[in-house]
Chain A
């Protein structure tokens, strides 16, 4: 009961505390300028930054996770399996602030010299690769996010793929199919929806991830209106809140930040419930009828 109570409280308090900002101008939060001095709080860059960085992370993470899952269930000998599962569990337990310090001090300089400078040097005429290389960038945030969500998708996919009915698998093998053909034509179609749900769960996690992103994204509030390069520093809803709330004095500033939190809550909750809906439909179809 206490849990339900707290849950409703979360909504209630965030709404109440963001009320000053909402009441003043309900649409201001979607504007493109964020100027604390002038009292203008438009968070469109942060909203877009959140969506874009998470989507890129998903793009990277899905092939990697699926590859690990397929390798794990179909190809790997059992010693490698044990090792691999320990590694994936460990990757999942590393605190996000650790990912942050690693990204900030180790990966960022390397990204700058080995990824950003060559690419923007040779492909700089394409807008998304243009601009000076800062190291801290939207792309770096996406890369770090990728490593944080790979364990989620991988572990769910492994359990889905290994629950493929043995009869189907054996039937394929008796037809002379290679392992890849078994995966491609039986295991993957069988667990397609479940994997999609896992991806949605991971997306929810990526959208709400705070520390690592705040530390590596560079917190520039110009993006994407000054340049749409993925090498530019950008900002997300979470980085905005984390880097400004404790020094915010203006009540409108505070309540605008809280409103961002409310927005984030709504986005992640809808992504998560979509995932849950898919899972429940899926399990009904499989076991119910």
Chain B
């Protein structure tokens, strides 16, 4: 015997679904809300531009960490984006048959599944343990490695959708294959590659685990990429677990900044993506 009618059951299930959906949505607003609530008061001109104050005294800022994050992200991009794009070109244009192609594909996919802390460990073992001090170069390597699969995947996917007619037309004109790949197909796929790279940039801006024991932290302005460099992410971690009220509030301020950076990049990509479908 049925306890509920089918209609009742339908309604019951709908309400359960809405409830569970709410369970997932609430944290987002909660997180964003608490970051704005706690972080907004911490942000000031001094906060954005000056060095951290000496331990125990209030004031000071996180200028060096902001600069450090930008520095490391940019140098990681210089390494990660070209390698990622080349890998993507290879996957889409050259790897259609053969063992090597599928090996590269498997490796790229596995690399995107490797936990970020393991990539950080790798950079630690390779560079930090060799030169015997913490350095921004190791962080660059780790973050660059994390960008490769993201950029490669975006490149491959946007090159795949380029029509074969174009490729054949270019080949019929006698253009060598590497030129076809780069001049014709890549230029068609440009917007996808750019948005993929931007997303990868946003993604590594939030990565903390690979930085903990590579670039470490520093209370001074970065003087060179081979030195320990302060970053926003590590600053949030260090300050948040320190438990001192002043540092914790600085950590909230830094969180607000970091979330803003990441969300703004994502929004830009979203808007660019929309334009692509509407226009042209």
Contact = CB atoms under 8 A, between A and B. Distances in A.
Partners in one complex: yes
Interface string A1-27: 111101101100110110000000000
Contacts of B107: 3-4, 7
A70 interface: yes
Contacts, number: 210
Given A93-B266, A180-B9, A242-B117, A68 B24 contact: yes
A150 B21 CA distance: 10
A164 B87 CA distance: 33
A97 B113 contact: no
A241 interface: yes
A4 B114 CA distance: 14
Given A3-B107, A17-B125, A104-B241, A264 B31 contact: no
A208 B115 contact: yes
Contact of B110 (A93, A96, A269): A269
B35 interface: yes
A196 interface: no
B64 interface: no
A4 B17 contact: no
The 5 closest A-B pairs by CB, nearest first: A208-B115, A95-B206, A67-B20, A210-B209, A272-B113
16 contacts: A10-B118, A84-B25, A89-B270, A97-B206, A100-B236, A101-B236, A104-B241, A178-B7, A204-B113, A242-B209, A245-B121, A254-B129, A268-B114, A272-B110, A272-B113, A276-B109
Interface of B: 6-7, 9-10, 13-14, 16-21, 23-25, 27-28, 30-32, 34-35, 38, 83, 87, 103-104, 106-111, 113-119, 121-122, 124-126, 129, 134, 145, 148-149, 152, 202-203, 205-209, 212-213, 216, 233, 236-237, 240-241, 248, 251-252, 255, 258-259, 262-263, 266, 270
Given A68-B24, A102-B34, A268-B114, 14 more contacts: A67-B16, A88-B24, A90-B266, A93-B263, A95-B207, A96-B207, A101-B236, A101-B240, A101-B251, A178-B7, A178-B10, A246-B134, A258-B125, A265-B118
